[in-house]
């Protein structure tokens, strides 16, 4: 393995408090009580679609979905750095990759409008070989295009990369790109198939476990 690619939300950073906060703001505006954080957190990986689904019970088929989506994203943008933090031990992992001269990059479905300022503010953009957002290429995950673009920018062939993520779409995208895949069990995981059914090459419980695997892989 010559490069490590990471998902962002739920893998490198815990953005759930701010995304859940934006969802509850939308409920508050409509006179609804806040939902428990534990009910909102698992849906963070599905973005606005998932958050609006659990917070307001709307789907992309609803006639007012696009307006609600823009409202949610605007609310989130105004608060996206209020509580979001890098997961514990992630910076140590990235430092260790740097010491081993292994480039790393970020591939997220978060639009560049959010991904670039967020990674910059949290000190991630500076060390990354690339930050690929959901709108950087014509396709978002689970399509392999964003991962292949990250590998290209890192200067490493896709078959020599691994992709680490906390959603089944991450594993599907990594496999489609011809990369080895790692499922991050500390992330949001969603409400689909259990993590052990995703077909990842490895499932890890902590960032440090990735270093151990890289040492013996």
Q: Which residues are catalytic?
A: 7
Beta-bridge partner residues of 43: none
> Cα angle at 115 between 166 and 174, to 5 degrees?
35
Least Cα distance to 185 among 175, 171, 176 occurs for 171
3-class secondary-structure state, position 61: coil
Dist CA 173 CA 186 (whole Å): 19
Identify whether the C-beta of residue 85 lies closer than 8 Å to the C-beta of residue 15. no
3-class secondary-structure state, position 106: strand
Kindly tell me the burial class for residue 63, based on how many C-beta atoms sit within 10 Å of its own C-beta (0-12, 13-18, 19 or more): exposed
Identify whether the C-beta of residue 169 lies closer than 8 Å to the C-beta of residue 163. no
N-to-C CA span, the chain: 8
Identify whether the C-beta of residue 37 lies closer than 8 Å to the C-beta of residue 87. no
């Amino acid at each position: 393995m010559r490069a490590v690619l990471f998902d962002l939300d739920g893998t490198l950073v815990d953005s759930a408090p701010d995304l859940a906060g934006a969802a509850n703001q939308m409920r508050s505006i409509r006179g609804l009580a806040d939902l428990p954080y534990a009910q909102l957190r698992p849906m963070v990986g599905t973005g606005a679609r998932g958050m609006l689904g659990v917070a307001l019970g709307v789907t992309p088929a609803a006639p007012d979905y696009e307006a609600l989506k823009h409202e949610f994203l605007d609310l989130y943008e105004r608060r996206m750095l209020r509580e979001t933090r890098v997961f514990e031990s992630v910076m140590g992992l990235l430092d260790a990759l740097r010491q081993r001269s292994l480039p790393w990059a970020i591939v997220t479905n978060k639009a560049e409008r959010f991904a670039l300022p967020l990674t910059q503010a949290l000190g991630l953009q500076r060390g990354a070989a690339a930050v690929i957002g959901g709108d950087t290429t014509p396709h978002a995950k689970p399509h392999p295009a964003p991962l292949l673009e990250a590998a290209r920018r890192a200067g490493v062939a896709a078959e020599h990369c691994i992709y680490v993520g906390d959603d089944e779409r991450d594993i599907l995208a990594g496999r489609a790109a011809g990369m080895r895949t790692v499922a991050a069990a500390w992330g949001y995981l969603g409400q689909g198939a259990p993590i052990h059914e995703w077909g990842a090459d490895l499932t890890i419980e902590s960032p440090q476990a990735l270093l151990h695997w890289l040492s013996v892989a």
